[in-house]
Structure 1
């Protein structure tokens, strides 16, 4: 069976046992490691693997072919995307207004990060931003630092490393979302083709998560080998933040968060209209 997910520490930590034959009864998996923008497009084109990690924001485009699995993804509190600049007061209205007409780099035009940014910018950036530039997330902070880009929307370990680039936090979109809705932040979803046995897949993925928690040292070399020269302490902080109770089971709060985000986005015309019942 084919599966695609990112080389980020949370994904390699979660799927280590599954792809290394450590989950009893699970089939063997052929892995593609890819940036979220690539997996989003693979799913939308219908040419992707049987199982993928994509942005929750990309779900409305793929629900005819793929179903959301209730485990393995990234959803939580205090873990949202950040908008960074080279200067400006954190969270100030003047700083937000300064984004009007500016160039902003984003990791994917169908990412949850970008969807949250659009919802926030509609309320806080007069006249809207200027040009949106899609680039791999690990290139965004250097582009902001060099002045190639005016601001950057960052995810993953950038939450821990942006001060080393001399950048300033303009807004924490996760904190904004939580304050606005009271809901956790849906970031990355695990999806599977609707022709598959989703209950079995969910069971294998949940078993992989539980193995990772029970044997954290087992995946260490695998995680670091894919972590793009990340400091081990940063990699562990990344795992601690993004792998949580929602990774094992979305639960009612998780489904409410996904429905809340995508329902609002559909109402505002940012994603296609779809039946919220298709999320289950």
Structure 2
């Protein structure tokens, strides 16, 4: 975990409010929250906010998505990323923001292996997954069901997301379920694509696959519009100042240069990230309903979203 406390003088601190924002240490999250950075980065550079953050100071908590999913059940962070899969378990604690989503529109998490095989052949094989509450695992279970399988038919095991590709390449697992930048770097290890879950979902459902969300704790519900505005302004700034934002994101890019990092950021920080829109909201509801109907997740009822307040001045 990396926890970086923004510096404020005593007088300012009396009028300001600290919000802890949890996100993954990967290029797309780093890119969109770069404008909120107020700490010394891994490159040794002192970063300060690029936008008006109202009366808020943001403390960045960098952890893998599985860890953030676990923390969200305790309501530990005021703002956090979590998997859409996780939402039914924390809907009483968090409201999703209308911005900050990661959507796979025809692409997404992948199952990879050293040798090609069909999904039905996963039966009895070992599969490394990046977390039990990741959307990748929820989508994988829905795909398995279409082939007459369940998670009990395979030997799955949680492995840290950035350790899955090398573990599969070394033969520790028959296959791996990969997320984040591994989706465009797995071929460096001569691994084969078994299925792209995002493509499968979009081709079969006609909707993007909603992967990750950002959310505000419900005890801050009255402040949610203003906080959401700051988050939206951060994403807008990052997109409008792409080169400097990608340069910052490179601090968290594994096995990627600037061009590849920019490609990955473009996959997951785009118009979907600015706002789910009607189609994105429909995708969230469809995925959660399928998961609930399949008995994989609880029914969370109606899904609500925090909308941004008018632009800050």
TM-score strictly above 0.5 = yes
**Aligned-partner Cα distance in 2 for 1:12–1:126:** 37
Q: 2:169 aligns with which of 129, 142, 145?
A: 145
Aligned residue runs from structure 1 range 101-120, under 5 A: 101-120=124-143
**Aligned-partner Cα distance in 1 for 2:62–2:146:** 36
Q: Do 1:106 and 1:152's aligned partners in 2 also have CA atoms closer than 8 Å?
A: yes
Give 1:172's aligned residue: 196
**Aligned-partner Cα distance in 2 for 1:160–1:277:** 32
Distance apart, 1:8 and its partner CA? 0.9
Q: Do 1:63 and 1:278's aligned partners in 2 also have CA atoms closer than 8 Å?
A: no
**Aligned-partner Cα distance in 2 for 1:127–1:65:** 30
Distance apart, 1:44 and its partner CA? 1.2
The structure 1 segments of at least 4 consecutive aligned residues displaced by more than 3 Å after TM superposition are 125-129, 277-280
Q: Secondary structure at the match of 2:85?
A: helix
| Superposed CA offset, 1:60-97 (max 9, x none) | 000101101000121141331111111125xxxxx222
Q: Secondary structure at the match of 1:148?
A: coil
Counterparts in 2 of 1:76 and 1:145: CA distance versus 1, 3 Å: closer
Give 1:92's aligned residue: none
Q: 2:92 aligns with which of 39, 64, 73?
A: 64
Q: Secondary structure at the match of 2:289?
A: helix
Q: Do 2:208 and 2:283's aligned partners in 1 also have CA atoms closer than 8 Å?
A: yes
Count of matched residue positions in the alignment of Structure 1 and Structure 2? 274
Could you tell which deviates more after superposition, 53-62 or 20-29?
20-29
Q: 1:187 aligns with which of 184, 204, 211?
A: 211
| Superposed CA offset, 1:239-266 (max 9, x none) | 0111111100111111100000001101
**Aligned-partner Cα distance in 1 for 2:109–2:251:** 24
Larger Rg: 2
Q: Do 1:106 and 1:137's aligned partners in 2 also have CA atoms closer than 8 Å?
A: yes
Q: Secondary structure at the match of 2:214?
A: strand
Could you tell which deviates more after superposition, 228-237 or 2-11?
228-237
Normalised to the residue count of structure 1, the TM-score between the two structures is 0.93
Normalised to the residue count of structure 2, the TM-score between the two structures is 0.84
The structure with higher relative contact order (CA 8 Å, sep 6+) is: 1
Distance apart, 1:162 and its partner CA? 1.2
Whether 1:257 aligns to 2:280 is no
Distance apart, 1:151 and its partner CA? 0.6
**Aligned-partner Cα distance in 1 for 2:268–2:296:** 26
Whether 1:100 aligns to 2:113 is no
Give 2:51's aligned residue: 23
Give 2:183's aligned residue: 159
**Aligned-partner Cα distance in 2 for 1:155–1:85:** 14
**Aligned-partner Cα distance in 2 for 1:169–1:176:** 13
Distance apart, 1:157 and its partner CA? 1.4
**Aligned-partner Cα distance in 1 for 2:286–2:201:** 10
Whether 1:36 aligns to 2:59 is no
Distance apart, 1:218 and its partner CA? 2.5
Give 2:26's aligned residue: 8
Q: Do 1:263 and 1:276's aligned partners in 2 also have CA atoms closer than 8 Å?
A: no
Counterparts in 2 of 1:137 and 1:237: CA distance versus 1, 3 Å: same
Identify unmatched segments of 5+ residues in structure 2.
Answer: 1-18, 38-47, 307-313
- The root-mean-square deviation of aligned C-alpha atoms, in Å, is 1.6
Distance apart, 1:119 and its partner CA? 0.2
Distance apart, 1:140 and its partner CA? 0.5
